[in-house]
A and B are shown apart, each in its own frame.
Chain A
């Protein structure tokens, strides 16, 4: 079957670090995407992990463990503008399409 799990909501303080976890079960798994979506807007691409390990891109990093079916998105030096939903999506090579989780709504407080 296809299943993506991530927490529904998280809160954090401006300047802090937050980790958003994602677990997946996907047939023919080929990679893991993270998207950011501000309220009322379209999702925008953040990262794509194919191999195990950490990929760093500025204040954002993404980690993948294929053996554990696990990924996380790490946001450092949080800013108010980071308040958004973060969508985890597994790419299924078998079905040749993205399977999205329900998203994690992050609220950053001063």
Chain B
């Protein structure tokens, strides 16, 4: 069955370290998204991509970067982790641009100490 996976599921890292969170989907969806979820804020968009080599900034992109070298993967990199980036991170994908359902991965809980 097609799916969307994230790894690692849990990560503890130190302030200042570079961290990469992986997202892989097997639906062959063009659109992929990264969100962070914090209490009281709901899901906030970090970066998104509408296809290979396309990346765009969301509302909370500072300190994060993404690259899209193939259809299946959109890794999220924290260049220099900060305690404010402690959060739960969700990756999502959708088949086309427009009002289409997004399918979410299981999430990565990141703690920055």
Chain A residues within CB distance 8 Å of chain B = 4, 30-31, 33, 41-45, 48, 50, 87, 89, 91, 93, 96-98, 100-103
* Interface core residue of B42, B101, B102, B104 (most chain A CB under 10 Å): B42
* Interface core residue of A31, A41, A48, A97 (most chain B CB under 10 Å): A97
A98 and B104 contacting across the interface, CB-CB below 8 Å = no
Instruction: List residues of chain A with CB within 8 A of the CB of B99.
Output: 30-31, 33, 48, 50, 91, 93
The size class of the interface chain B forms with chain A is 20 to 34
How many A-B pairs fall under 8 Å by CB?
48
Chain B residues within CB distance 8 Å of chain A = 33, 35, 40-45, 48, 58, 90, 97-99, 101-107
B48 and A97 contacting across the interface, CB-CB below 8 Å = yes
- A43's contact among B45, B90, B98, by CB below 8 Å, is which? B90
Query: Do most interface residues of chain A lie in helix, strand or loop, or is the interface mixed?
Result: strand
| Bound-complex Cα distance A82 to B63 (A) | 36
Contacts A30-B99, A48-B101 known; A101 to B42 CB distance under 8 Å?
A: yes
| In the complex, residue of chain B having the shortest beta-carbon distance to the beta carbon of A50 | B99
Instruction: Name the distance in Å between A11's Cβ and chain B's nearest Cβ.
Output: 19
A97 and B58 contacting across the interface, CB-CB below 8 Å = yes
